[in-house]
Amino acid sequence: MSRSAKLSRLAPEQSLRRLELKVTRRLDGLLHGEHLGLLPGPGSDLAEARLYQPGEDDVRHMDWAVTARTTVPHVRDLIADHELETWALVDMSPSMDFGTARMTKRDLAVAALAAVGFLTARLGDRLGAYIMHGGPVRRWPARTGRAATYALLQALLDTPRASGGAPGPRLAEGISGLARGQVKRGLRVVISDFLDGQESAGGELAWQRPLRRLAARNQVIAVEIIDPRELDLPAVGPVMMTDPETGETREIILSGRVRAAYAAAAAAQRARIREAIRGSGVSHLVLRTDRDWITDVARFALQQRRVAGRPQPGGARP
């Protein structure tokens, strides 16, 4: 598809306006309401009491008065300040330019940010972003309103593709920068394919520790972007493959043995990413370029609503 055709398909005055309509129609009400606080502190009010869920609720939030009156354990959620500040880290590295289905991973990342932006804009909250795209991470200031959301999405669409081999920040650096740059608690969204395979000295993925630190003070959602060809290869014989991050090109014969080994390695890689995200105490949303992303977001939003205000299982602290 030519650049002009792509821009006409993703122009904010038309395509993004339709995107807003679809998101608000199919997700309206799922994420609205009062913001539940993560930690007790100044500016927080008590919400209604509810039944204690063993293994999910923090015993420090136990409502002993209601528990004594009903003889059944109850906890009380906290309502944080109504002004929520949402910050997203958007990965626009070369690997995000890949796509073999309905859209590229980059387009899907923009759509994911649009869903977050349009929903929070209806609450009057502010949305800002850190953009990873070669060189230093670019910061887009947090603003409120649909016009600001359109401007942010347009900036992402106008971001040129990074050339292969161009130096750029690692995912761990981007997450650390997001944590350092924003000290006020709020919602943090990390949108990436999480294919940064760099490991720390302890054998963990390099971005695991920064992600845990970010989740210690904020509600964090990790949006993992996947293309089906990253999980399985077609039987097409010899092909020329290029690493988008380094620009290295190599000829590979896609025999049955090679395809099976690739599928096994890809499954193991995604399992490790999944365990690393969930082990960091972060909510995990998987979006694929060959699926209806709005349905996946709606399903995730309903799940988040059911567990709102509860600590995420397996959330280790650094």
List, in sequence order, every residue forming a beta bridge with 286; answer none if it has no partner.
224
Q: What is the pLDDT of residue 56?
A: 66
Integer angstrom CA distances of residue 265 from 198, 207, 261, 300: 16, 20, 6, 27
- pLDDT tens for 34-68 read 555 555 554 455 566 788 878 667 788 888 999 99
Mean pLDDT of 251-276: 92
Q: What is the pLDDT of residue 42?
A: 46
Task: Using pLDDT thresholds of 50, 70 and 90, give the confidence band for residue 24.
Answer: low
Please report which helix (H) or strand (E) contains residue 176, including its range.
Answer: helix 171-181
Decide which of 3.40.50.1100, 3.90.1580.10, 3.30.9.100, 3.40.50.410 is the CATH code for 3-33+81-226+273-306: 3.40.50.410
Task: Using pLDDT thresholds of 50, 70 and 90, give the confidence band for residue 307.
Answer: low
Task: Using pLDDT thresholds of 50, 70 and 90, give the confidence band for residue 314.
Answer: very low
What would the two tokens of residue 5 be? 């055709």
Q: Poorest-confidence range of 5-9, 71-75, 237-241?
A: 5-9
Give the burial string for 291-301 (b: 16+ CB within 10 Å, else e).
Answer: eebbebbbebb
What would the two tokens of residue 240 be? 């020329």
Give the residue, 174 or 183, on which the prediction is more confident. Answer: 174
Q: What is the pLDDT of residue 82?
A: 55
- DSSP codes joined into one string, 128-145: EEEEESSSSPEEEEEEES
Mean pLDDT of 283-304: 88
Among positive and negative, which fits the CA dihedral 50, 122, 128, 297? positive
User: Among 264, 304, 262, which Cα is nearest to 282's?
Assistant: 304
Residue spans of the domains in the chain: they are 3-33+81-226+273-306, 45-79
Mean pLDDT of 136-157: 87
Q: Is the pLDDT score of 297 beyond 90?
A: no
User: Among 305, 312, 291, 246, which Cα is nearest to 112's?
Assistant: 291
Mean pLDDT of 200-213: 88
